[in-house]
Chain A
Amino acid sequence: MLEFFYIGLQTTVMWVNLLAIALGVVIGLIFGAIPGLSGVTAVGLLVPFTYGMSPVTGLLLMIGVYCAATYGGSISAILFNMPGDVMAAATVIDGYPMTLKGEAQRALAMAIFASFVGGIIGTVILSLVAPQFVKVALTFGSPEYFALAMLGLAIVGSIGAKSQVKALLGVTFGLWLSTIGLDPVSGISRFTLGNAMLQAGIGFIPAIIGFFAFSEIFARLYDKHINKDFDPKVIKDARILNFPPRRDITENAGTILRSSLLGNFVGILPGAGATIAAFLGYGMAARFSKRRQDFGTGIVEGIAAPESANNAAVGGAMVPLLTLGIPGSATTAVMLSVMILHGLRPGPLLFQRMPDLTYSVFVGMFLANVVMLVFGMFFVRFLIRLLLVRFEVLSLFIFVFCVFGAFSIYNRFVDVWVMFACGILGFFAKKFDFSIAAIILGLVLGSIAENGFVNGISVTRGDFGAFFIRPITLIILVFSVLFLITPFLLDFIRCRKEIAARKVAV
């Protein structure tokens, strides 16, 4: 096996391939960081360019984009309250409050560090235990997907810091949005108002662009407090090399490790993805942390958890692609298409047939993460100055990118209308203090929960008992229930103690 790594290393360090990785990382950072544009858009646009490249070079380019875009989304999430890519939707919750507290630099440093560690852990797991790991993922059938979605929904209590009721309403609204379009089982149109274009449903990407980025523009215009006043001196004095302070690293090491493992596993499942990994990572951290009541107010842990989870999911998504020849995410689907166009057949025989390709992918992902760390750390200093740019100017560009980004994913104009509509809804949600993250959570998990439930009932042949007591399903569902009730339970215990204490005092 070591010799294969050596072959992979030899292939990867050829200058074209190194250039491809570096270029991929830069493109990924740009597409990831700009709200509206996303990694999927970048990879899709790059497909024609890969025709003329060798398959390894083309794949490494895309891997660079994939890794960097997954991190890049957090930059605008932290600085502007607008996730640049869908995977960063959970990073907004604590990222933007940190910027408002004047801790943008600390937040950005943690984002790049957590992304790097997550990415490396994902890559190591991919290259060492991919075939064994995929066997574990195979035990996930539809009922398990349903349970996973329930676990994801259960974290809603952690993201609606201000009002639990409003968070629940938001999540319900998101779930309803996810039912628009064709019914996944009977194929009947739902809530499409007879519009053929709405049959495709509400896409995540246009919805997320609308709910976060567009609504932010509206909200700031409405508030007339369009430019948040940041201290220019602090921003200009940003350090050159942005490595998080040692205390942040030691305090969050456990969170990052747990999130990375969780994110990597969720990434392997072909029905889930990096966005869900990030939400689950955040939720886990928010439940198990000592500072659980501070989540949502802008703490570093709230960035470390989702960022390490979504970058670890990148390595995870490559597992089914390389071991079974089936894509685990939208980006890996594009990679699969590039491999097929080059006459390669990803599948269980790829490892034997083309060890140089698979092992260059492993080495390439490793290098991409390193390049991403270096670029990320140096760019933070410049990126942070974007806070000083007048928002009137910035918002114009973001507006254009949002429209372009929403359209370019599937070339459907209806997605632009969806984005506008979500932007207006998001504006009112912000005005009335509904959590947008909760709406997105419902939208992202809705179809997984629905497919998992309906297909799961088919898989267990209509037996509800068998559905709920499958070992993995049961464990995850019990966890979900615990997630939901622990805050109330803790409150209850605290009240009892207080009452008891008062009685003693009396």
Chain B
Amino acid sequence: MKRSIALAVVLLTVFSLFALGGCGERAKTEPPAETSDGGPEWPSQSEVIAAIDAMIADFNEKEYDLDQAIAELQKVIPKPEGYPARSIEYVIPWGEGGGSDSYARHIGQDAAKIMGVSIVYNNMPGGGGEIGLAYLLTQPADGYTIYGAIANQTINDALGTQPHSFTNDTDFIIRNQGATEIYWVRADSPFKTIQDAFDYAKANPGRLTICGAGAGGDDEFRIASLSKELGTDIIYVPYDKVGERTTSLLGGHVDIMHETAGTVIDLYKNGDIRPLAYGGSIVFNEIDPSIPCIADLGFSVPVGRWRGMVTVKGTDPKIIDYLHNSFYAASKLPYYAEYEVEFFQHLPKAYLNSEEFEEYAKHEVEGLRDLAKELGYISD
């Protein structure tokens, strides 16, 4: 008796979960009609994305709906034989609700439909993303485990604090997001322009405080480099959680906050905070074209927060191409594209294909290593 009641309760719970979810969309399981036999005419990534772009242009003119678009994309994207045969694990090395989490789950939604298998998201935070990377490197190089990397990985690689190397031990897939950080102040701040803040910093070394995300990350490097070029001492205050960063600015505990545009744009629209300068080398006309970007003021920008994907070194290049093409196509479909606009991620021209991404990351590591030596983070 009791056992049957328990069973009924369990079934009822599971059933109502599904009922709440409506009929629950299922990813298409049937593979696309034509599969490439992997002959000599395997197209390059740029050829495939040209075809995808043409398709997406058609789609945007509303010639067909999303399901048809995905079926068409499956035809355009050449598929390696026997891949993917099961679900793909996506390691998100940061917690739920953060930028990396949103990026993965947004781009993954349509990518999973295109690939016809589900993507299993695995949030594995800690150690500035290195716990997840260490886990990735224990997995076989079969393309079934991918890892969402950000600029922390090139920095840690440059500092050489890890037993592994991000750029040498992984195969690069795609980069979709670029830096959108802005120097924000509270609406009633005495600093009207970034020059006011710089003048203050120069006149009062060790007085100007700027908060950013965590220790030893891209934010710290930007501030340290800025401080060095100004020839003064700016205090960098690291907060791990976005909530702590925002409240420390709004509460007037720090002078300036270095934060991505999308996270705090509502506070700007609400009139609580205003931008002083763009952190990188682009001026965002959509936010405020009248304020400068740091690069235009003559400062160097060593690193910015980009997001992309990598997998284990030694994966079949065709699988890499397939993943690149699928995620590229997903990034152009409305679910991800709308999110990108909402979070101002469409502003930096961030897309890099596998080869460009690898080159970019290696170049960044070189630059960071020199900077780290200059700033005294590493000796020799």
Contact = CB atoms under 8 A, between A and B. Distances in A.
Nearest to B210: A458
Given A16-B20, A44-B96, A330-B95, 14 more contacts: A20-B20, A140-B251, A141-B253, A184-B238, A271-B243, A320-B243, A334-B96, A336-B97, A349-B270, A410-B124, A412-B135, A458-B236, A461-B235, A462-B206
A139 B24 contact: no
A44 B339 CA distance: 22
A189 interface: yes
B125 interface: yes
Interface in A330-360: 330, 332-337, 340-341, 343, 345, 347-350
A403 B207 CA distance: 49
Interface stretch (A45-53, A67-75, A237-245): A45-53
Contacts of A139: 251
A414 B253 CA distance: 36
Interface in B221-265: 235-244, 246-248, 250-254, 265
A199 B209 contact: no
B125 A53 contact: no
16 contacts: A26-B13, A52-B25, A138-B247, A142-B248, A187-B216, A270-B247, A320-B247, A324-B250, A324-B267, A325-B267, A327-B97, A333-B96, A347-B270, A348-B270, A349-B266, A455-B238
Q: Give the one of A320, A324, A332, A349 with max B CB within 10 A.
A: A324
A340 B254 CA distance: 28
Given A23-B17, A53-B22, A455-B239, A271 B244 contact: yes
Given A23-B20, A271-B241, A349-B266, A47 B215 contact: no
Contacts of A185: 215, 238
Interface stretch (B98-106, B297-305, B319-327): B98-106
Given A44-B96, A189-B161, A334-B96, A412 B124 contact: yes
Contact of A186 (B17, B106, B215, B239): B215
Contact of A337 (B96, B240, B242, B246): B96
B241 A270 contact: yes
Interface stretch (B75-83, B126-134, B352-360): B126-134
Interface in A28-85: 44, 47, 49-53, 57, 61
A405 interface: no
A139 B247 CA distance: 8
A348 B267 contact: yes
Interface of B: 13, 16-17, 20-25, 95-98, 101-102, 105-106, 122-128, 130-131, 134-135, 161-164, 206-207, 209, 214-217, 235-244, 246-248, 250-254, 265-267, 269-270, 272, 338-339, 342
A51 B127 contact: no
B160 to A, nearest CB: 13
Given A186-B216, A345-B266, A459-B248, A337 B20 contact: no
Contacts of A345: 266, 342
Given A61-B20, A141-B248, A458-B235, A196 B102 contact: no
Contacts of B17: 23, 49
Contacts of A183: 215
A334 B131 contact: no
A326 B135 contact: no
Interface of A: 16, 19-20, 23, 26-27, 44, 47, 49-53, 57, 61, 137-142, 181-189, 194, 196-197, 199-201, 270-271, 320, 324-328, 330, 332-337, 340-341, 343, 345, 347-350, 410-412, 414, 451, 455, 458-459, 461-462
A324 B269 CA distance: 12
Nearest to A412: B124
Contacts of B102: 337, 340-341
A220 B101 CA distance: 42
Given A20-B20, A185-B215, A461-B206, A201 B243 contact: no
B345 to A, nearest CB: 13
B164 to A, nearest CB: 8
Nearest to A57: B20
A459 B249 CA distance: 11
Q: Give the one of B24, B96, B209, B244 with max A CB within 10 A.
A: B96
A335 B239 CA distance: 21
Contact of A326 (B101, B206, B247, B338): B247
Contacts of B124: 410-412
A12 B292 CA distance: 47
Contacts of B265: 347
A377 B23 CA distance: 34
A53 B253 contact: no
Contact of B243 (A16, A47, A326): A326
Contacts of B25: 51-52
A183 B216 CA distance: 10
Nearest to B243: A270
B13 A138 contact: no
Given A270-B247, A461-B206, A340 B215 contact: no
Contacts of B215: 182-187
B232 to A, nearest CB: 13
Contact of B131 (A57, A199, A343): A199
B33 to A, nearest CB: 28
Contacts of A137: 247
A189 B216 CA distance: 11
The 9 closest A-B pairs by CB, nearest first: A200-B126, A187-B216, A347-B266, A270-B243, A52-B21, A199-B127, A141-B253, A333-B97, A138-B251
Nearest to B122: A411
Contacts of B13: 23, 26-27
Nearest to B248: A141
B131 A140 contact: no
B22 A52 contact: yes
A505 to B, nearest CB: 59
B209 A461 contact: yes
Contacts of A461: 206-207, 209, 235
A326 B266 contact: no
Contacts of B270: 347-349
A349 B237 CA distance: 28
